[in-house]
Amino acid sequence: MRTKLVVGNWKMNSGIEETKNFFENLIENSSLQNINHLMQVCICPPFTSLNTASQLLQNSTIALGAQDVSVNENGAFTGEVSISMLKELKCQFIIVGHSERRMYFKETDSLINKKAIKILEHKLTPIICVGETLEQREADETNEVIKEQINGVIENMSNEDLLKIVIAYEPVWAIGTGKNATSKQAEEVHLFIRKLLTIKSNINVSESISILYGGSVKPENAKELSEQENIDGFLVGGASLKVNSFISIIQSF
Ligand code: PEP
């Protein structure tokens, strides 16, 4: 059975004070005690709030994650943050290849693949994002785009590596737009991704990989999306900034 995983991506939101308020409220919230015990929850605050979050999560089952990482181990890379620095802060997950990084910082599948392999070498879990733009969907290129991205981001990974990754399908047109993919659209792509993973490895491996959906997930649409066979969790942006909406999304599984 695949682990269900709900990840909050705070993007460039929530400094130290807001982070403190959020975690104090989240940890105190009694609804969190009732969540499915097979489920993992993770929050990815901005780098400057990681230390605060890490301290507040010390005795919690909620995992900490980062939104990106340098492909380099250390040295003269101004503005970058290394994996060892994130490990010191007890991060367990690292998002790579978010469409905003692909779009604004020109990150390629090849760079994302190198970052993911580095993360695996350090025994952390990469959450690798893929997704098509609206133009690509409208031109009926979704499968082609997803195939190229998946093959690119998992290049040179062994079956053992593949068992340790998480994939997030995030259609670019659904991120931060309020317009989510329908459960049918999302399930179709998730199934397609699982087939691609089977071709690259085998059915046992592909059936074990968690594939998250991301793109305007909110309490109102989470239930229906969560009921799809190949949707194993969510990557949540906006709705992860508020304790109540985030908890309600977690409870959809
Ligand atoms: C995201 O940041 O990955 C995301 C899916 O954002 P939102 O939920 O706000 O669409």
Task: Say whether pLDDT at 5 is over 80.
Answer: yes
Question: Contact at 8 Å (CB) between 150 and 197?
Answer: yes
Kindly tell me the burial class for residue 155, based on how many C-beta atoms sit within 10 Å of its own C-beta (0-12, 13-18, 19 or more).
middle
Q: What percent of the chain shows pLDDT beyond 70? A: 98
Per-residue pLDDT of 159-189, as tens digits, reads 999 999 999 999 999 998 888 899 999 999 9
Phi, psi angle pair for 86, to nearest 5°? -70, -35
Pocket test for ligand 1, best of 101, 103, 236, 242 (most atoms within 8 A of CB): 236
Q: Does the beta carbon of 175 sit less than 6 angstroms from any atom of ligand 1?
A: yes
Q: Tell me the β-bridge partners of 233.
A: 5
Predicted confidence at residue 125, as pLDDT, reads 98
Per-residue pLDDT of 193-221, as tens digits, reads 999 999 999 999 999 999 999 999 999 99
| Atom of ligand 1 lying closest to residue 214 CA | 5
Give me the residue spans of the domains in the chain.
Answer: 4-250
* Range 94-120 average pLDDT: 98
Average per-residue pLDDT for the chain: 95
CATH 3.30.450.20 is the classification of domain 4-250: no
Pocket test for ligand 1, best of 170, 172, 246 (most atoms within 8 A of CB): 170
Confidence of residue 122 (pLDDT cuts 50, 70, 90): very high
Query: What residue owns the CA closest to ligand 1's atom 3?
Result: 237
Query: What residue owns the CA closest to ligand 1's atom 6?
Result: 237
How many CB atoms are located within 10 Å of the residue 53 CB?
Answer: 25
Active site residue ranges: 98, 170
Q: Does the beta carbon of 41 sit less than 6 angstroms from any atom of ligand 1?
A: no
Per-residue pLDDT of 45-101, as tens digits, reads 999 999 999 999 998 889 999 999 999 999 999 999 999 999 999 999 999 999 999
For 178, the 3-state DSSP assignment is: coil
pTM, to two decimals: 0.97
Phi, psi angle pair for 77, to nearest 5°? -135, 75
Q: What is the DSSP letter of 32?
A: G
